[in-house]
Structure 1
Amino acid sequence: MEDILREIGSIARSLDSISNIEFKQYELSKGQYLYLARVFENPGIILKDLCELICVDKTTGSRAINNMVKNGLLIKKTDSTNNKNQHLYVTKKGEELYPIINNENNYSSKVATIGLNSDEIKELTNLLNKVKTNVVKDWKDVKNGKKRDY
C-alpha cells in the first residue's frame, strides 16, 4: 500500500509553512490564520467546537485564541446561559484579514490541482473527505482515551 499519509502530510506541512510565512506580515503567528478563518465562517463558535473543527486539543486552541484576543483579532463574549462558554467573534481588524486568508486558500487550491480536470478534482475531494472522516473519528477516540490496536 502506498503511504498516502506521508503525501498528505507533506502537502499539509508545505501549505502551512507557506501560509505562516505569508501571513507573518499581518502579525498572525503560526497557524492562527486557520483559527481566524474558522471563527469568521462560524461566528459565535465556542472554543470546544472550534478545537473539534480544526482537530487540536483544547490547551493549544485556548493559547492561540488568547493570543489572538490580545492582538485584537478576536473577541470573546460570555454565554448568557452558561458562563463557562465563551462565544468567539472576529473583530474589525480580523474581518479585514479574512479576504486575504481566503484568497491565499483559493490560490493554493488552484496551484495544488494544476493538471487535474473537474471530475478528478471532485473525485479527489470525495476521497479526501472519506480519509478525513476516518482519521477524525480515530483522533476523537484516542483523544478520549481509546487505545488503538496496531
Structure 2
Amino acid sequence: MTANNYSSLLKYISMMKRDTNRYFQLKLKKFNLGGGQQFFLLRIAENPGISMYDLARTGAFDKATVTKAVNKLLAEGYITQETDAKDRRLKRLKTTDKAKEVIDYVYEIRDKWISQMMDNFSEEEAMTIYKGLEKMAEHTGAAICKMNEEEKKGEQ
C-alpha cells in the first residue's frame, strides 16, 4: 500500500493525542496540573534522581519542554531538585510525599483511558496495534535523528 492509502493516519494520531491531553487536563485539574506534566511526574517517580537530560530522553522531548514541566512540578511541590554531588551541572529530580496521591491517581486514570481506547478490541488486535505504534515511533525517532545528523553535517 502507498502513503495515499493512509492519508488520514496523521489526522487520527493527532485526534487521539488531543483527546488524551484533554482527558488528562480534565482529570488532573484538581491537582493544579495540566495534561503534559503527568508523563514527567511518572518518569521521575519511576526513576528517582533522574537528571533533566535523561528525563528529556525518555520521551524525546526538547530541553524547553522538560524545563517547563519540571518548573511546574517544582512550583506545585510534587518534586524536588538537588544538585548532583559529582557533577554540579546536573540537577537530580525526586518526587515528594505530596506527589504520592497524584502518582497513584495518574496510574489509575491512565489505565482507565487505555482501556477506553482499546475497548472492543481483542487481545490480539490490541497487541497488533501496540506493536505497530511502537514500530512507528521507532521509525519516526530514527528519521528525526538522521535529519538532525544531516543538518549538523550541512552546518560544517
Judged with a 3 Å threshold, the aligned counterparts in structure 2 of structure 1 residues 144 and 77 are, in CA distance, closer, same or farther, namely farther
Which residue in 2 is equivalent to 1:64? 69
- Which of 1 and 2 has higher RCO (CA within 8 Å, sep 6+)? 1
SS in 2 for 1:77: strand
Check if 1:88 corresponds to 2:88.
no
Aligned-residue offset at 1:54: 2.1
Q: Which residue of 2 aligns with 1:124?
A: 129
SS in 2 for 1:75: strand
Report which stretch shifted further, 131-140 or 58-67: 131-140
The 1:90–1:115 alpha-carbon spacing in structure 2 relative to 1, beyond 3 Å, is same
Q: Give the deviation of 1:56 after TM superposition.
A: 2.0
| Number of residue-to-residue matches in the alignment | 147
Encode CA deviations 1:37-73: one digit per residue, 9 max, x unaligned: 1111222111111112123210121122122112101
Q: Which runs of 5+ in 2 are unaligned?
A: none
- Pick closer, same or farther for the CA change 1:91–1:65 going to 2, 3 Å: same
Q: Distance in 2 between matches of 1:91 and 1:145?
A: 42
- Structure-2 change in CA distance of 1:98 and 1:8 (3 Å): same
Superposition TM-score, scaled by structure 2 size: 0.86
**Larger Cα Rg: Structure 1 or Structure 2?**
2
Aligned positions of 1:88-107 closer than 5 A: 88-107=93-112
Partner of 1:19: 24
Q: Give structure 1 stretches of 5+ with no counterpart.
A: none
Which one of 74, 77, 83 corresponds to residue 78 of structure 1? 83
The residue matched to 2:98 in structure 1 has which SS? helix
Instruction: Specify the alignment match of 1:42 in structure 2.
Output: 47
Q: CA RMSD in A?
A: 1.8
Give the superposition deviation at 1:143.
5.4
